[in-house]
Structure 1
Amino acid sequence: MALIFTVLFIPGSQNSTIPITSAVEGQVFLAPIAFADEPFLVVIDTGSSDTWVVRQRFACISITTGLREGQDQCAFGPQYVASSSFTEIPDQNFNVSYGDGEVLIGIVGYEEVCLGNVTVPSQEVGLVDIAAWNGDGKSSGILGLAYPSLTSAYAGDEQDSEQDSVEEEYEPIFIRMITHGLIEQQIFTLAISRDESSGGILTLGGLPDPRDVVYGDDFATVPIEVLGSPQMNGSSRFDPDYTFYTISIDGFPNPNASSSFAPSPQESPHSRWPNVTNIQAVIDSGTTLIYLPYPVTKAINSLFGSQANYDPTVDTWFVDCNATAPSWSLTIGGQNFNINPLDMIIQGLDGSCVSGVQDAFNGFSILGDVFLKTVLAVFDLGNAEMRFATRQ
């Protein structure tokens, strides 16, 4: 179904192409933004909905110990100094948690926000006072581009009582651009680059100029779905509203159809490439890796041969940093998209390397930056669909 927005037409609505900056050796992607006249870099996150920045005199909390530590340990970029144009919303608080254990707590209010050449008046934003955060040294917050149901404002001024508070849903920044007629079309387009010197581009309100990014002529088009919660009996219970940009993956072609993937000694020698089809996955630019069901993850990582191993103590597939990465693909909307082997080995700060594909376990599948580096992704909110084109 299409998502219907009430749109206020404003003459001069436009589209805007914004250069992206990469951080953490091409694993995080940042966009320039301004709160009033204060410029920042923020993480582009299609897997969350809040736009927030950290403000001066915030408290940095260790994710590991829960104890306060120096602000430098959170590794934020510049901190926000509330301008005269910021208006705090009384009796509300900001409280958001992310899948990797990071937690941000603060206040909410209205501020003029500029993204590219689009200025959004009175955008509701979060200002962070308490942060348990693993920063990149450049970004000051997050640009959340998902749906209103994922926003994180809560009733009351008790900043640590999210679970007992009533959620105060609001319009995220891209939805507000749509409803206020600030962009030409109800879409944004993302093309992130594995070239650390360029980062890629984010286009609001249209497709990028072909001179800025090279992509194929044929788009795979699939509907945005309501994310289901799998039940033990195999049926699905669905949430009442859109949350993430969720699509269905048709399947995973065997990269060598003439042979089976290598089974473990405990498995039958007749084990073959898993026939996993029609699974939901979230398109999430804020996640580096791809997360898939265990049978698929195991099959893909077996293509590394002896150069990959699974460590159950940390639930992670590790690979030799000098391994020969495999080629494999996934099918969306009837089209195959090849994952580039260059994106299949991710080196951490400790020098170890992990596979670009990890187990989703009991969570939902995620197509993160390892996938997004191979495509031009069009997020069409007006038609509630996503379109993908292959990209060099």
Structure 2
Amino acid sequence: MRSCIPNVLLVSLLSTSAVICSPAPSAPPSKGTTIPLTRRSVHKRSAAEWDEWAVRHREYVTKKYNGQVKSKRASGMNLLTDQDADSDYYGSVAIGTPAVSYNVILDTGSSDLWLASSSCSGCASSSGGGPTSAASNSIPLFDPASSSTFKNLTTPFAIQYASGQATGTLGQDTVQVAGFQVSDQTFGVCDTANGVLSSPLSGLMGLAWQSLASSKATPVWQTLAASGQWDSGVMGFFLTRFGNDSHAKELEPGGQFSMGYVNDSLYTGSIDYQNVPSDQVAYWTLPVTSLTVQGKSISLPTSGSNQYAAIDTGTTLIGGPSDLVQSLYSNIDGAQAGTGSWEGYWFYPCSTSVSSSISFGGPSWSISPDDFEHTQVDSSGTQCVGAFFEVNTGDNTPGWIVGDAFLKNVYTAFRYSPPSVGFASLSSTALGENGVDGIAPSATIGSPAAVVSSTGKASSNKNDATRSRGFSVQILALVWGAAGGLLLA
């Protein structure tokens, strides 16, 4: 839930060659185009593989939210591990002239864009039978020399992981995403990764606010939202569920990400928007006002960082303060704290269907028992891991990290002005996509309908008669490979 990604045991997810963007129709539809998402199937892991996953996941989320607002991410951005079925979601961006398409994680919990470069040492290597060199072309790598619009800023850039660090320099180039183009966009170009990159991902696109960016650059989405080129200053996410489908294929449709509009066919009723507190505009932060499990309410703080949650598409599970998570599991018969590699996680009987809900100041939103059950951890299928886990964040970061285990249950909108996050009930159309096999979309993006400079200057594509009204981009939910390797650790 990212450009230089960790050492993994992974089977290739997609066709791995970089794709030159093909032309799109000159006039976009009034509501934008829709491109389906994709995710990978569940892998039945060994106990050792689960132990490794648990440690990496806990360490990564803890580091990601450990004081980064206070430091303005001066020490670099931290990315998430791949966290089981329906975990991370990624889509396509096109960079350079001529434009080449790359798969990147779409992460509302960070703010930098970065890619692995063609000179990246170890970027195409992995263990367990995966790609072993850049020559295998299994991971599209960004080649600055192939783009006539690339500018090397020579400023150092570093990304810290639980398992290592990816480093490089900052550059500028033309970036296309979801039918829009930003020129002179600053992004990280990684030339070392220490074996932290795996197919089919080439990088990460952060979708949080500029104050989190280690590059100090304005994120692509924020430039677009401020430019006036969007029909509406909003981004929308719909994430499908395949984690409860034992027959899911290696790649499945994963949902939809839109820029400049919300897809009203994917939700019912109205979107309930809750404003991000004015002193919390960094992450997409909301107060947690109620939390229930098995019909019982958890007593929540009304002051301090532990009252807030970051709404994070780049996190699989739901992290929270230790005392509150412990209180939550006390309402589930037979629940017990994990130990060793599973410290901070909680087990409960798989035979128990757990009902839970959460509110952020508006309606209370239910979490499906299928999403509360993260996975079974014993061969007999009696012990399950819950979606809520204990995490200790920094003093100036939200105490809760609300990820995909919740977001699969709602349609989510991230609004530019006023800064706010909205949720709505999924429509029958959206719910009907859960568990339905489909073909993985290819990593391509058409010609942009609107062109914006990173300085904010906007112009319409000469082939378009009207400004862009918003587009959707394919998103791919990335889970475990067949060998059980972790991504983004």
**Same-fold status (TM-score > 0.5):** yes
Distance 1:336 1:76 in 2: 44
Assess, with a 3 A threshold, how the Cα gap between structure 1 residues 16 and 124 changes in structure 2: closer, same or farther: farther
Unaligned runs of 5+ in 2: 1-26, 41-83, 124-130, 243-250, 432-489
Report the secondary structure of 1:178's partner residue: helix
State the Cα deviation string for residues 51-95 of structure 1 (Å, max 9, x = none): 11111231239xxxxxxx9669xx983222222234234341222
Please list, as runs of the form range in 1=range in 2, the aligned pairs for 1:155-234 lying within 5 A after superposition. 169-195=216-242, 197-210=252-265, 213=266, 215-225=267-277
Please list, as runs of the form range in 1=range in 2, the aligned pairs for 1:1-392 lying within 5 A after superposition. 17-23=34-40, 25-36=85-96, 37-60=99-122, 77-82=139-144, 83-97=146-160, 100-101=162-163, 103-132=165-194, 134-135=196-197, 137-153=199-215, 169-195=216-242, 197-210=252-265, 213=266, 215-225=267-277, 242-257=281-296, 274-278=298-302, 279-306=307-334, 308-311=336-339, 314-319=342-347, 322-347=350-375, 354-363=385-394, 364-391=399-426, 392=431
**CA contact 1:113–1:119 (8 Å) conserved in 2:** yes
Distance 1:70 1:105 in 2: 20
Report the secondary structure of 1:219's partner residue: strand
> Could you say which structure has the higher strand fraction?
1
Give the Å deviation of 1:314: 4.7
Assess, with a 3 A threshold, how the Cα gap between structure 1 residues 27 and 179 changes in structure 2: closer, same or farther: same
**CA contact 2:118–2:141 (8 Å) conserved in 1:** yes
Distance 2:196 2:404 in 1: 18
* Backbone CA RMSD of aligned residues: 3.2
Distance 2:168 2:377 in 1: 29
Distance 2:421 2:347 in 1: 32
Give the Å deviation of 1:101: 5.0
> Could you say which structure has the higher helix fraction?
2
**CA contact 1:47–1:286 (8 Å) conserved in 2:** yes
Assess, with a 3 A threshold, how the Cα gap between structure 1 residues 14 and 102 changes in structure 2: closer, same or farther: farther
AA at the equivalent of 1:283: I
Give the Å deviation of 1:136: 5.3
State the Cα deviation string for residues 157-181 of structure 1 (Å, max 9, x = none): xxxxxxxxxxxx2211101212333
Assess, with a 3 A threshold, how the Cα gap between structure 1 residues 92 and 15 changes in structure 2: closer, same or farther: farther
**CA contact 2:333–2:348 (8 Å) conserved in 1:** no
AA at the equivalent of 2:37: I
Assess, with a 3 A threshold, how the Cα gap between structure 1 residues 251 and 132 changes in structure 2: closer, same or farther: farther
**CA contact 1:377–1:387 (8 Å) conserved in 2:** yes
Percent identity, aligned pairs only?
24
Distance 2:35 2:295 in 1: 40
Give the Å deviation of 1:282: 0.3
TM-score (norm 2): 0.60
Distance 2:289 2:86 in 1: 28
Distance 2:213 2:276 in 1: 19
